[in-house]
Every structure is written in C-alpha cells, then in structure tokens.
Amino acid sequence: MDTKKDTRSRGPRRTNAPQRSRFGGRDTRTNPAYEAGMRFALENGFKRPMTAAVEQRRSSGGSRGTGPRRSSGGRPERGTGSRPERSGSARPARGGGRGYQEMAVDLSKLVNKAQPAEEVEAYASTHAFADFAIDERLKANIASKGYITPTPIQDQSIPHVLLGKDVVGIANTGTGKTAAFLIPLIDKVLKFRALGNDERVLVMVPTRELAIQIESEFFGFAKGLGLASVTCVGGANIVPQIRVLKRNPAFVIGTPGRLKDLMERRDLDLTHFGTVVLDEADRMLDMGFIDDMRFILSKMRSERHTLFFSATMSRDIQALIGAFLKDPIAVSVKTRETSHTIDQDVVKVHHSQKFDRLVELLKEPEFEKTLVFGRTKHGVERMAKDLRQQGIRADSIHGNKTHSARQKALIAFKRNDVRVLVATDVAARGLDISGVTHVINYDLPSTYEDYTHRIGRTGRAGTTGKALTFIP
C-alpha cells in the first residue's frame, strides 16, 4: 500500500518555489536571499516595491500606497507633483504615471558647450530650389518664403521623392523635414492632375500641433495652385473636418486616432490615396499608435508611394520600415544626437527647492522665451498657474487641454504674449517655434531620445540656444 498521503483534497502542494500573485505581480512567497535584501533595503530607508496585486487593490479602492501627497483638488502638491525616488540610473517616478521610468542620468550627455558657427563645417548643397524639376508656380511660392538653398535633408530627399521612390529620411529636429516631403508631393499632385489623374496624399503625424503646423506650411507652398487640404485631429469638432473631406482635398493631414475614427464612420476612403507620409513615426510608435497605423495603411492601395521621416532610428522603427516601405532610399543627415547650436548644462537642486529655483531663473532678463518641460498634465497646469502667481507670464500645453486652448497657448507663446510655456512631451516634437532662448527640463524625460527632441526646440535655424536640466 502506498504510504504517501493524498493531498489532492487539501489544495496545491506547498513547495519552496516562489509563487506569483494571481495579478501577475511580485512573488508573494520569496526565497531567503530576497527577504535578506529587502530587510537591508528597509533598514536603510528604502520603500518596499509595490506589487501588481497592491496596485490592483488601489485601483479598485483598496488600501492606499505611498504616492505623492495631493491637495484637495486632486493635484500633486507643489510644482509638477513628480518628485522622483532616490537618484539612480533609471528610476520609477512617483508622479509620472504608473510604470514611468526616468532616463539614465549621464552628465557627459547633458553638459555641452555650443560651438560657434564658424567652427562647424558648412554643408555644401548640390542643388538650389530653382534647380529642381518642379512646377514654376511652386518655385515662385518657395522663393516668396525666402527659401533659396535646401537644407541637407531637403537636398538629398527631394530628388528621390520626385522620382517616386520610397524614402526613409533621418535628420535632426528642426532641419526642414516638412518641406522635404511637401515640396515634391505638391509637385506630384500638380503633375498627376495635368494628366487627368486625381492623386491624393495622406500625411500621418503623432500630434495635433504638428498636423496644424504642416498644414500651415502647405498653405505657403500651395498658394494659388488650386490645391486644398484638411487637418483631421482629435480634440477638435469632427463635423467641419467631415465637411471638407466630402470635397476630396488633395492633402489630408491627421493623427492616427482621428483618421481611424473617420474611416470607421466611412467619411474617409483611402482607396483613392496613392501616397502616404509617416512623419515622426517613432513618436507615433511611442504613443501606442502602431495598431492604428497598421489599420490605416492596410486600407490603402498596396502599390503606394511611402515616405518615412523621423529624427531617430530604433529596432522597432526598422521593423516598421520593413513592413511599410518597399526598397526605400535611405537618407540620413543626422551627424550628432543634439544640435551644435545648443549650450547644454545641468542645475543641481533638491526636489523641495525646484520650483523656487525655476522662478529665480525665469526672472533673469536673458530668459526671454522659455519652454519648460514637466512630466504630468496636472503638474504642468499647476506649474503655469503658480508661475503666474509669481508675476511671470506663463501658459501651459498638455493632453488634457482642448484643441482650441492648446492652440491659443501656442499662439500666445509664438507672439510673445507669454514668456514661458510649460508643457508635457506633447510639445517636444515637430513644433517650429522661432526665438526660443531656453529649454528647461524641470522633470527628466523617460529616454535620451525624448531629451534630444525637447532641447531641439531651441537653437534652431542657426541661432544659439540654451538647455538646462534639473537633477537632484
């Protein structure tokens, strides 16, 4: 007779192997080495990490954790409410949303003196805009904008686009990628129409602000050419967008979410679009738009002309290129991660003194037009309000603001009606705001790539700018 006890009626057999919570969190029964490490951490002032099970209970109204204190209005107290944990290479941020990771702090990458223009080797363009085989009316519009010599990305991309080649363009932010695809595609539509064909172009971008900026550039290049466009972005009334779409504009510029919405409503039919531009595709990937992007492109003709422009290249982006483009021409004029015209430095300050130090800086005369980056939507809104209370003309831009409110804040900043614009990373990419003297990273971004995009808002068009990063 088998003398082993039958344990089937007593539940699962206990073993020494660690078990996970049913929510997929940290081990609830851990080995002695882990417990010894936790005892050391707790004795030295570190907090026990929150498990997924605890997070689940918190989200369903259970016990409270140790997140940042909040005021009665539900906003983090003081500043952006995003005080990170103890310093380290990559640390979870308490106010930046669950799972937020700050970028690794590498002072060698955050401190850099701007190089004088004469020390930077000038790019020798092989073309002038007048040399391109494009419509003469388009050339006149380009000249009226004061464009004579193409930037490197324009010089090397436009000839390939004019030949109908798929192009992957990689260049630093602020180097003219928008004109690099608008100019040849406007010419393409004009040539197709002259042959009696109705060519249409879809431009997909990550943010409303970038879409509106591209349309503004389009209006300048397409003046008097009989071409129409529409901007389709979330946060704005969809009815006027549908009304313009019914008139079949040559260019449709939009964010993936709104474009997909219009397609599902059957107000946007992409079977007539033979050209698509993916601008700042890496940012769309970061924002979780990959499924929308795939859905949108699946509704276009398989034989299409695809352009892909970005400031960064990663493995995920390389995978997208392989899936979306056919035999693309690669154009890379990115010579360094950050512009040589940006003077970069750090400001060491304790978390409790960050806001006071920010006010001190912004009251100095040299901070004429400053973009301040915070981590959270509520945080930047509160910071802008606190700055106004300190007598500093400031406004904010973030995802919780309505489309019209965001545009109002951007216009006020561009017109110098406000000196300081406090923003989340929604303003880090694509926006061309002239005259920004300083960028301040009040909170660290999650990646170094985001850092390069943030500081790229200054030091544009050959001018010198300054970027400061607060670190504890």
pLDDT in tens, 276-319: 999 988 888 878 888 899 999 999 988 899 999 877 777 778 88
Q: Would the pLDDT of 63 be above 50? A: no
Domain ends where: 332, 361, 392? Answer: 332
Query: Are 293 and 212 within one domain?
Result: yes
Query: Are 194 and 313 within one domain?
Result: yes
Mean pLDDT of 354-361: 95
Domain ends where: 332, 362, 394? Answer: 332
Q: Would the pLDDT of 68 be above 70? A: no
Q: Would the pLDDT of 442 be above 90? A: yes
Query: Are 362 and 328 within one domain?
Result: no
Q: How many domains does the chain have?
A: 2
Q: Would the pLDDT of 267 be above 90? A: yes
Query: Are 315 and 372 within one domain?
Result: no
With respect to residue 15, please indicate whether it lies within any of the assigned structural domains: no
78-102 tens-digit pLDDT? 333 333 333 333 333 333 444 445 6
Range of the domain at 457: 107-116+340-471
Give the pLDDT of residue 106. Answer: 62
Read off the pTM.
0.62
Domain ends where: 304, 332, 360? Answer: 332
Query: Are 179 and 308 within one domain?
Result: yes
The three-state DSSP-derived secondary structure of the chain is: CCCCCCCHHHCCCCCCCCEECCCCCCEEECCHHHHHHHHHHHHCCCCCCCCHHHHHHHHCCCCCCCCCCECCCCCECCCCCCCECCCCCCCEECCCCCCCECCCCCHHHHCECCCCHHHCCCCCCCCCHHHCCCCHHHHHHHHHCCCCCCCHHHHHHHHHHHCCCCEEEECCCCCCHHHHHHHHHHHHHHHHHHCCCCCEEEEECCCHHHHHHHHHHHHHHCCCCCCCEEEECCCCCHHHHHHHHCCCCCEEEECHHHHHHHHHCCCCCHHHEEEEEEECHHHHHHCCCHHHHHHHHHCCCCCCEEEEEECCCCHHHHHHHHHHCCCCEEEECCCCCCCCCEEEEEEECCHHHHHHHHHHHHCCCCCCCEEEECCCHHHHHHHHHHHHHCCCCEEEECCCCCHHHHHHHHHHHHCCCCCEEEECHHHCCCCCCCCCCEEEECCCCCCHHHHHHHHCCCCCCCCCEEEEEEEC
